[in-house]
Structure 1
Amino acid sequence: MKRISMVMCRPATNRPLVDTYGGHLNMDLVMMNPRRQKEKIVVILGATGTGKSRLSIDIASRFPAEIVNSDKMQVYKGLDVVTNKITEDEQCGIPHHLLGTVPPDEDFTRADFCYEASLAIGSIGARSQLPVVVGGSNSYVEALVTNHEYYNYHFRSPMYDCCFLWVDVEMPVLHKYVCDRVDRMVQQGLVDEVREMFDPEADYSKGIRRAIGVPELDRYFRTKKFLNRQARARVLKEAIEEIKKNTCKLASRQREKIHRLWNLKGWSLHRLNATKVFHRRGEEADRVWDELVAGPGAAIVTEFLYKNAALVDSGGFTCDPLLGIRFPHAIETTITASTVAR
């Protein structure tokens, strides 16, 4: 769900800088914690279509942050509609890394991702920005944060202090949404986009041609010149239905993978249930999104970044610089994951 409101795109004001390497806040009023060894990063997980990109823009609009793409198809150049890349307008001026940078015919492995993502995270941290890793390729994320085997001796182990936000939507609701999204993608030029790179000798096991939407259209492009208009329409319709079917399967696999990370591997995930958003339209949907996803997500990240750091102004008030709220210093203002909709 990639609806980006203009409210999200407005420049944030008075945002504190975050030293992600040391865990410090670069503010004069901060009573600092002992220096941490791990780099702080926010990781946004979720099945395709749940709203991960939208939440990443929300978070990066509230904090000094840059975004690292972790979708294995969106790293490639081209096929922007097929791979459902966030558009330049939707990016709201927030820097994005590993988005449309890899040549389309190259293989980009988990090891490649770990190497490139670590470089991006390091450069983001060096600019006192918060890295926000977002994408649907959970195997890439798992390799980045846990599997040291993907690193050779030239690079340090990926020892990150992670805040995991999981945007979740009930499967029947999500399946309907992604099927409708495929129809919109067709209207936006999906078929023409694939036609431009169609090659009858292409290998669909490599590069961007693995993306859902490319192999499904192979039969249509191979046979269309031999078919009459009615038969072409039928073959195209079958291809589009196959794209929908495979997208639904992908969403289910991604959700199952997240459940394994949560239940079997013990990842501490903050689940943000966005299902109700998909039952609303327009401004009401935006309101519910802010209430159930963006607001709780920002609260969780605030607690993750600023826990144990008291921000005290000269008047003896504890301040939340992000929300613009001042509390008497004696009042405890801890924000916990209990605010997450479940």
Structure 2
Amino acid sequence: MDKPKLLVLLGPTAVGKTKLSLELAQRFGCEIISGDSMQVYRGMDIGTAKASEAEQRLVPHHLIDIHDPAYPFSAAEFQERVKSLITDIHARGKLPFIVGGTGLYIESVCYNYQFTDVGMDEAFRQEQEAYALANGDEALHLRLRDIDPESADRLHANDRRRVIRALEVAHVSGQTFSAHLAAQKKESPYELCIIGLTMDRALLYKRIEERIDEMMNEGLIQEVQKILDAGCPKQAISMQALGYKEIVRYLDGELSLEEAVTLLKRDTRRFAKRQLSWFRHMKDIYWVDVTETANFSAHFQLINDIIVGKFVHKIEYNQQP
């Protein structure tokens, strides 16, 4: 029996996934599944760079605005929901199309990761939480770096929940989280076509900084304040996201606005670097360099040809970023 087809477009933040995804989705009859761990939250629009309402009307979108910001969304829930969506989308005669930059989430679907293998230790988790509160997220992150430097490279120090989970996996299983990921079978239940977008690092960083300036002008501060006013705890997973954690610190008086924006730009550049590092550990990616942003039509045609070749003519195509 033929495997169901699954199209994926991934890449670092600000590389230009949204515009290409909309064109590709219309060309190939796709429904888009957001592969972003924070776009699931209602009211978090500016800071997560969600597709606009007009863009979402062009193509059906899924896993956007499905939870309140206080909800603890996880990779396991993402995987479960996406597997069901893929079945439903195929049943409608459409092509499921994951678009995003959250590497673990996307990879967990592509290769059917098992999240139930490693148990939990609530006492250990609370101990790490207390350590982070007493000593700071950077100190907790150093604990992870000591035992699992690969996971430390992939996870931001601010991402306390996932840092603690990586420590917990090593504590419970005796095997690092990175080793646990590497041991997954990496066999896909789908016929995959994964497109990766890359560009010159200096240009990417410039685009990131320009996007953050645009977010500030669009009202990111007011967006964060509104979420907090609605009762979302500052410790919620959603409030640890880039653009939210920094603004919370500004609203609390810990940082000046200039300091918060500078920190956000720095951390987003580092995040993009970690995204690319994660993707380079993945297999089956057809990389497309989109540095020449004026050549959108050429990039679109190249990606079109890759998809046609993979899903129709079954040709092989690959290049490294």
Corresponding residue for 1:130? 95
TM-score by length of 2: 0.73
Does 2:83 align with 1:103?
Answer: no
Report if the CA contact (8 A) 1:200-1:222 is conserved: no
**Percent of residue pairs identical:** 30
Match of 1:89, SS state, is: helix
Report if the CA contact (8 A) 1:115-1:151 is conserved: no
Does 2:257 align with 1:236?
Answer: yes
In 2, Cα distance between equivalents of 1:170 and 1:243 = 21
Does 2:310 align with 1:289?
Answer: no
1:252 maps to amino acid:
K
In 1, Cα distance between equivalents of 2:56 and 2:233 = 32
Match of 1:44, SS state, is: strand
Instruction: Rate the CA distance shift 1:118–1:168 in 2: closer, same or farther, 3 A.
Output: same
Q: How does 1:49-88 map to 2 (within 5 A)?
A: 49-88=14-53
- What RMSD in Å do the two structures reach over aligned CA positions? 2.5
Report if the CA contact (8 A) 2:41-2:68 is conserved: yes
Structure 2 unaligned residues grouped into runs of 5+? 118-186
Corresponding residue for 2:266? 245
Query: What is the CA deviation profile of residues 186-229 of structure 1, one whole-angstrom value per residue up to 9, with x for unaligned ones?
Result: 111111111212369965453321221111122321239xxxxx
Q: Choose from 294, 317, 320 the match for 1:337.
A: 317
Q: C-alpha displacement at 1:90, in angstroms?
A: 2.2
Report if the CA contact (8 A) 1:114-1:150 is conserved: no
Which is richer in strand?
A: 1
The alignment covers a number of residue pairs equal to 252
Report which stretch shifted further, 132-141 or 55-64. 55-64
Q: Choose from 197, 203, 208 the match for 1:167.
A: 197
Corresponding residue for 1:208? 238
Q: Choose 1 or 2 for highest CA Rg.
A: 1
Q: How does 1:128-207 map to 2 (within 5 A)?
A: 128-150=93-115, 159-198=189-228, 203-207=233-237
Structure 1 unaligned residues grouped into runs of 5+? 1-34, 225-233, 262-266, 278-284, 309-334
Corresponding residue for 2:157? none
Q: C-alpha displacement at 1:341, in angstroms?
A: 10
Q: Choose from 298, 306, 309 the match for 2:312.
A: 306
In 1, Cα distance between equivalents of 2:256 and 2:38 = 25
Superposition misfits of 4+ residues, deviation over 4 angstroms = 199-205
Instruction: Rate the CA distance shift 1:300–1:269 in 2: closer, same or farther, 3 A.
Output: same
Q: C-alpha displacement at 1:105, in angstroms?
A: 0.7
In 2, Cα distance between equivalents of 1:214 and 1:171 = 24
Corresponding residue for 1:270? 286
In 2, Cα distance between equivalents of 1:162 and 1:205 = 37
TM-score by length of 1: 0.68
Report if the CA contact (8 A) 2:69-2:227 is conserved: no
Which is richer in helix?
A: 2
In 1, Cα distance between equivalents of 2:287 and 2:281 = 14
Corresponding residue for 2:145? none
Instruction: Rate the CA distance shift 1:106–1:158 in 2: closer, same or farther, 3 A.
Output: farther
Higher relative contact order (CA 8 A, sep 6+): 2
1:337 maps to amino acid:
Y
